[in-house]
Amino acid sequence: MTTALVNGRVLTDNGFQSGFAVLVDGGTIAGLALPSDPRVRAAERVDLGGRTLLPGFIDCQVNGGGGVLFNDTPTVDAIRAIGQAHARFGTTGFLPTLISDDAAVMARAIDAVNDAVAQGVPGVLGIHLEGPFIAPERKGVHDPAKFRIADADDIAMVARRHGGVTLLTLAPERASDDVLRQLVDHGVIVCAGHTAADYDTTRNALSLGVRGFTHLFNAMTPFTSREPGVVGAALEDATSWCGLIVDGHHVHPASLRVAIAAKAKEKMILVTDAMPPVGSDNPNFVLKGETITARDGVCQTADGTLAGSALDMASAVRNTVDLVGVALDEASRMASTYPAAFLGLGATHGRIAAGCRADFVVVDDTLQVSETWIGGQQVFVAR
């Protein structure tokens, strides 16, 4: 049975449009049509009541949610719980993210994601391995006891083929040119992050296929007058993508405005770096044996180190509009269209267009999430 979403303001490839129905057939968008179209009259109608229909949000960095930390429980059930928690905030696609850990834990996490993709767990698109091939000087909240230089076994494990994408964050100064080439040649999406690299090292890594930068500004060498650093290389490069944590704490709004203006269009993506408090009533979680509490949207250790975030994607979009001054259509694309392109999924995800997956988020005038749809199925309705 075809479903027609009617009476909404729809973000299309040509901007916001009203007066069209979005036709969904078998989990795929069949197209946009006028209400007078016979396909609309024959379809099961869902009245959006004048609300706004956006492409579902895609989050490339999700450490946890719903009280679950992926590192603690790298299982299909954990992935399902994390996905359900984030679906409340419009996330229809995500990468469960494992921060630096032992090889055995990494292998379990990869297996769990493979199984989750095979079982069709809603929203899971692959895995993000954030470390352990990163720099002690820029460790952030990661445990340096887990850090190591990638060897042949690590490359084989990370590059193992499965039904989803694999994103790996590493410090390019701690990987040889040959390692970078092997990872890229095996289809791994490689990002620079938690890195003390200089500008030249970063430029070389980009030439070898590094595709993006994990949480720009945070845990990397800064942009200064005589040493552009990782940030300078990232903003100068026209082909790579940059992840931004727009929570008002990780990066100052002025820095975000400058970065967005400097970077090539369509190359900035919103991420949450979310921890277990997102979608949970419990603000506390344990990381490396230390209890961390989310207060006023900030997750910090006792010494003030940021420990991920309590950010969700809907809030990231609102913040990008309200704090940074980006128009809603562009902020929405930073949370959907551009992440899809970054992951190589632009033909099927992140857009409201014929042939794309029917992944939607319905928001009201205040950009609060009313409904979330994944694959043409309504998975969340605000009560």
Q: What is the pLDDT of residues 91-106, one digit of tens each?
A: 999 999 999 999 999 9
pLDDT category at 306 given cuts 50, 70, 90 is confident
pLDDT at 263 over 80: yes
pLDDT digits (tens, 9 = 90+) for 115-126: 999 999 999 999
Instruction: Give the mean pLDDT of 334-351.
Output: 98
Question: Do 295 and 150 belong to one domain?
Answer: yes
pLDDT category at 309 given cuts 50, 70, 90 is very high
Instruction: Give the mean pLDDT of 350-362.
Output: 98
Instruction: Give the mean pLDDT of 358-370.
Output: 98
| Cis, peptide link before residue 144, omega less than 30° from 0 | no
> What single letter denotes the amino acid at residue 344?
G
pLDDT digits (tens, 9 = 90+) for 226-260: 999 999 999 999 999 999 999 999 999 999 999 99
- The pLDDT value recorded for residue 301 is 86
- The pLDDT value recorded for residue 297 is 81
Rounded CA-CA distance 86/380 in Å is: 10
Answer whether residue 291 is part of any domain.
Answer: yes
Question: Do 77 and 24 belong to one domain?
Answer: no
Question: Do 288 and 370 belong to one domain?
Answer: no
Which CATH number characterizes residue 36's domain? Answer: 2.30.40.10
- CA angle 139/61/24 to nearest 5° reads 175
Report the percentage of the chain scoring pLDDT > 90: 93
Report which DSSP code applies to 195: B
Question: Do 223 and 93 belong to one domain?
Answer: yes
- The pLDDT value recorded for residue 304 is 83
Rounded CA-CA distance 247/310 in Å is: 8
Choice among 237, 273, 312, 359 that is catalytic: 273
Coil/strand/helix, residue 53: strand
Burial of 368 by CB count in 10 Å (0-12 exposed, 13-18 middle, 19+ buried)? middle
358 near 28, Cβ under 8 Å?
yes
> What single letter denotes the amino acid at residue 174?
R
Answer whether residue 347 is part of any domain.
Answer: no
- Chain-wide mean pLDDT for the chain? 96
- The pLDDT value recorded for residue 383 is 86
Check if 111 is active-site. no
- Of the two residues 287 and 174, the one the predictor is more confident about is 174
- The pLDDT value recorded for residue 57 is 99
Q: Quick one: the chain helix, strand, coil %, rounded to 5? A: 30, 30, 45
Whose tokens are 């042939």? That residue is 355
- The pLDDT value recorded for residue 285 is 93
Question: Do 134 and 183 belong to one domain?
Answer: yes
Rounded CA-CA distance 231/32 in Å is: 40
Number of domains in the chain: 2
114 near 164, Cβ under 8 Å?
yes
Question: Do 44 and 183 belong to one domain?
Answer: no
Which CATH number characterizes residue 153's domain? Answer: 3.20.20.140
Instruction: Give the mean pLDDT of 153-175.
Output: 94
Question: Do 303 and 370 belong to one domain?
Answer: no
Question: Do 113 and 41 belong to one domain?
Answer: no
pLDDT at 274 over 80: yes
Question: Do 82 and 161 belong to one domain?
Answer: yes
- The pLDDT value recorded for residue 303 is 83
Question: Do 87 and 41 belong to one domain?
Answer: no
Question: Do 337 and 361 belong to one domain?
Answer: no
- The pLDDT value recorded for residue 52 is 98
Question: Do 89 and 17 belong to one domain?
Answer: no
Domain residue limits at 42 = 3-54+352-381
